[in-house]
A and B are shown apart, each in its own frame.
Chain A
Amino acid sequence: EDQVTQSPEALRLQEGESSSLNCSYTVSGLRGLFWYRQDPGKGPEFLFTLYSAGEEKEKERLKATLTKKESFLHITAPKPEDSATYLCAVQAGGSRLTFGEGTQLTVNP
């Protein structure tokens, strides 16, 4: 059974204070690892797909990395508008995704 565990559950940062979110996974035959952003009262918004260990992708202040057991979402010099819940998901066979419970990030000005 595919499993995804995200940590921490919640993270509070000061504006400009860089940090990382973790996504640990157990899956048989990873085809893709996905990061999403979810704002309160809205649907998840797609950020990145990572396919193989060693891969990195960047978007503005966010950088996602992937190893054989986990993925990190690094946030550099965050701003209050980066406050959201960040979700990680994995895809093994077929088109189904397994999601983690998310990390709720709050960035204080």
Chain B
Amino acid sequence: NAGVTQTPKFQVLKTGQSMTLQCAQDMNHNSMYWYRQDPGMGLRLIYYSASEGTTDKGEVPNGYNVSRLNKREFSLRLESAAPSQTSVYFCASSERTASSYEQYFGPGTRLTVT
């Protein structure tokens, strides 16, 4: 099993450009998440999808949109990139155990907006 995969690994954009970050998981998990990680800020939730067909805002959703394409895939779109969106983006997935959700992360996409 590959677990959680993300593409691309690196990306440089100019201000105002758009792009879509792709995420796929092969663990048959129902829930998927997008985070950004910045120095001194920790991991912050952008959007999540509790199950196929649903999406909800997280802590920092402004400037982003998401699509839960099917159970395996969850994409994050930047419509008009800004320098403040320079960050490392992680996708994660989870399945509810008896008591809680353990999230499993992908390798990340390093995005620079100039």
Instruction: For the A-B complex with A43-B108, A101-B41 known, give 12 more contacts whose Cβ atoms are closer than 8 Å.
Output: A31-B99, A32-B100, A36-B105, A42-B107, A43-B90, A43-B105, A43-B107, A44-B43, A44-B90, A51-B100, A95-B96, A102-B42
The answer to whether A42 and B104 touch across the interface, beta carbons within 8 angstroms, is no
| 77-106 of chain B: CB within 8 A of chain A | 90, 92, 94, 96, 99-106
Which residues from chain B contact A94 at a C-beta distance below 8 Å?
50
| Residues of A near any B CB (own CB < 8 A) | 31-32, 34, 36, 41-46, 49, 51, 87, 89, 91, 94-97, 99-102
Most buried by A among B48, B90, B100: B100
Docked CA distance A94–B94 (Å): 12
On chain B, the residues within 8 Å of A91 by CB distance are: 100-101
- A95 near B50 with CB under 8 A, answer yes
Q: How many residue-residue contacts, CB under 8 A, span A and B?
A: 57
9 pairs of residues in contact across A and B, judged by CB atoms under 8 Å: A34-B102, A42-B107, A43-B107, A44-B90, A46-B102, A49-B100, A87-B42, A96-B45, A101-B42
B40 contacts the other chain (Cβ, under 8 Å)? yes
Nearest residue in A to B42 (C-beta to C-beta)? A101
Q: Are A31's CB and B43's CB within 8 A?
A: no
Query: Which residues of chain B have C-beta atoms less than 8 A from A45's C-beta?
Result: 105
What distance in Å separates the Cβ of B74 from its nearest Cβ neighbour in chain A?
A: 13
Pair A46/B104 contact, Cβ less than 8 Å? yes
A88 → B minimal CB distance (Å)? 10
**CB <8 Å contact, B105 and A95:** no
Alpha-carbon distance between A89 and B100 when the two chains are bound, in angstroms? 12
Residues of B within 8 A of A51 (CB): 99-100
